[in-house]
Amino acid sequence: MTATTVLHEQDHSAAIGRTETRSEVIEAGRVSALAATLDLETAPQGGAPLPQGWHWLFFNPFVRRGELGPDGHPRRGGFLPDVGLPRRMWAGGRLRYLAPLPIGAEADKTSEILDVASKTGRAGKLVFVTVKHSISTGGVLCIEEEQDIVYREAPAPGAPKPTPPAAPETSEWSAEFVPDPVLLFRYSALTSNGHRIHYDRPYATGEEGYPGLVVHGPLIATLLQGFAADCRPDEPLTGFSFRGMAPLFVDRPFRLEASTGDAGSLDVWARGPDGELAMKAEASFGS
């Protein structure tokens, strides 16, 4: 018997192929606000290309308070299917940067549900939803992204936490980052992310069983992309794939690390404060 088997009784295939499109101006003010939130000395100006990962600032619905669920996310249903599980996480994704997305431009984002798969394993019932996003401006496709979302059951009281793998010991580049409560609050606000695990400590610890406020997965992925770009300043970052492995928590320093990968790529990862592998990723470069 394998550790993961398909649950045939659940079928959410009707959601596959569902699409939606949103339009938004890539506002310079919000870009400057993220630069300040990350404590950068300068911010990209209007007309400049949007840095990799910063598109997650945009196209996020800010729904009415009455339409939120108890976790602060929009209630299940709508574009994403209601799979009947209470916990939702952004597990990872794959990005291709095809053309610059200028700050100040009006852009369109089209999203399509590619797959919905129900499984079960050590963590109980799981549903994986894969969504493709395409961002364009003026008819030019700028970013293609596949996003992996996982829904899961609430863990049983007293259930042991999974042990994450250790981070590699092969880094050629390394930098420390300290996530503080104001950073998490501001990033939540800038990305219209109401998930309470990032700013509501009693909820994060009492309801979802974390030891503290949780650092956003997209924030870690954004930091890793900027770190990879700094490691290779003479080459454009054109691809990035990542997977979350273990949560990181407020006020606990972690490290961004990288080493040379295959075919000119970089292996990049986030090392947790106890040496655990929190996120692993691969960054690719080229014209």
Q: What is the arithmetic mean of pLDDT over 127-135? A: 95
Higher pLDDT, 101 or 77: 101
- Residue 77: per-residue pLDDT: 67
- Residue 57: per-residue pLDDT: 98
Q: What is the arithmetic mean of pLDDT over 124-135? A: 92
Class of domain 5-285 (CATH, top level): alpha beta
Q: What is the arithmetic mean of pLDDT over 58-81? A: 84
- Residue 250: per-residue pLDDT: 98
Confidence bin at 5 (pLDDT 50/70/90): very low
What ranges do the domains of the chain cover? 5-285
Question: What is the pTM assigned to this prediction?
Answer: 0.92
Confidence bin at 8 (pLDDT 50/70/90): very low
Determine the distance from the C-alpha atom of residue 229 to the mean position of all C-alpha atoms in its chain, rounded to a whole number: 18
- Residue 2: per-residue pLDDT: 38
Residues 190-219 have pLDDT tens digits of 999 999 999 999 999 999 889 999 999 999
